[in-house]
Amino acid sequence: MTTVENIDALVASYKSSAHMDKVTRQIADIRGTGGEVVKMEGQQPSFLMQSFVLTKRSFINMYRDLGYYWLRFAIYIALCLCCGTIFYDIGHSYGSIQARGSMLMFVGAFLTFMAIGGFPSFVEDMKIFGRERLNGHYGVSSFVIANTVSATPYLLLISLVPGAMAYYLVGLQRSFDHFAYFALVLFMTMMLVEGLMMIVASAVPDFLMGIITGAGIQGVMMLNGGFFRLPHDLPKPVWRYPMYYVAFHKYANQGFYKNEFLGLTFPNNQAGGATTITGDEILREYWQVEMGYNKWVDLAVLFGMVILYRVLFLAIMKLTEKAKPMVNGLRFRRTQPSVHIADQSFEANGAK
């Protein structure tokens, strides 16, 4: 029997069965009850509601996923304890100048480097976002805002608790405003690295390749941040212009240095000079820090880079959404001629 004959047999069997009589009576009873027609109209939630629901869900996922922030939090505590005990009570000798710079560089570079640890979990979030975005549940902007807001409390916790342990064990400037600036710079750099990894995730969805790519990008920025090679010693093509000014480590290191050294005085061990050396002189001559603006400008630049990286991620996702249908359309057009040729050759063989 053909498919059509099977379908006709099923229809005839249903019409002759008691089920059809029962269904017909139920339909007649429903029609006899009367009443108004109920119109089911779907309603798309507002942008604020989408962002709120996504923020709540993302916050809960981050809380439950030990590898997202909690493992990093524990490792940050261990590293800051290690850093604080190695540089414990650093003092104000001439040798403490280099030690202070090394400790601050470690915080601004290697601690923020570990922010790539949450990349695998973010890739999983991206996969869920891709499926839900295709179903039209919410937009890219809601996803970016929700991810940023939900991550903020965890990054603040990581910046404050381990940061305080390292800061006060080392014996940096004791005033609260100096520590607050230190924690803010650490927070901004970690937010910035997470934004950088969001951009990497949009281009390299595989978490292993993404971690390697993100680590390589940060390694280049770290080398050009002004610590391993002072700014005036960097080769001008590429490495100083533009990489030195693109690397966020430049602004993190200089913000840390200005926050710590300004207002301090150290004994000068160099022969033929003054008996003491001020923090301003150390910044200008020892670390070659740009003193044309204050430390809050460095913090503002870091904040601007946080916004910029997330806007770039948003733009990449928007462009990807628009480009995919165009690319698929071009692929379909390229395959059409081969299909026609195959059809024509099949018809010619059939005619023979």
Give me the chain's average pLDDT, please.
Answer: 88
Query: What confidence category does residue 326 fall into, taking pLDDT thresholds of 50, 70 and 90?
Result: confident
Residue 214 lies in domain: 47-323
Res 327 pLDDT > 90 = no
DSSP 1-60: --HHHHHHHHHHHHHTSHHHHHHHHHHHHHHHH--PPPP----PPPHHHHHHHHHHHHHH
**Span 221-276, pLDDT tens digits:** 999 999 999 999 999 999 999 999 999 999 999 999 999 999 999 998 877 778 89
Weakest mean pLDDT among 14-18, 30-34, 132-136, 139-143: 30-34
Beta bridge mates, 276: 267
Give the predicted TM-score (pTM) of the model: 0.80
Is cis: bond before 242, omega within 30 of 0? yes
pLDDT at res. 12: 87
Give one word for 209, left, alpha or beta, with left for phi > 0 and alpha for psi -120 to 50: alpha
Predicted local distance difference test score (pLDDT) of residue 329: 74
The pLDDT value given to residue 346: 45
Give domain status of residue 29, yes or no.
no
Residues 276-293 pLDDT 10s: 999 999 999 999 999 999
In this prediction, residue 258 carries a pLDDT of 97
Q: Within a domain: residue 334?
A: no
339 pLDDT band, cuts 50/70/90, is very low
Task: Please indicate, yes or no, if residue 349 is contained in any of the structural domains.
Answer: no
- Kindly tell me if the per-residue pLDDT of 342 is higher than 50: no
* Mean pLDDT score, 213-217: 93
Residue 266 · residue 276 · CB < 8 Å: yes
Q: How many domains does the chain contain in total? A: 1
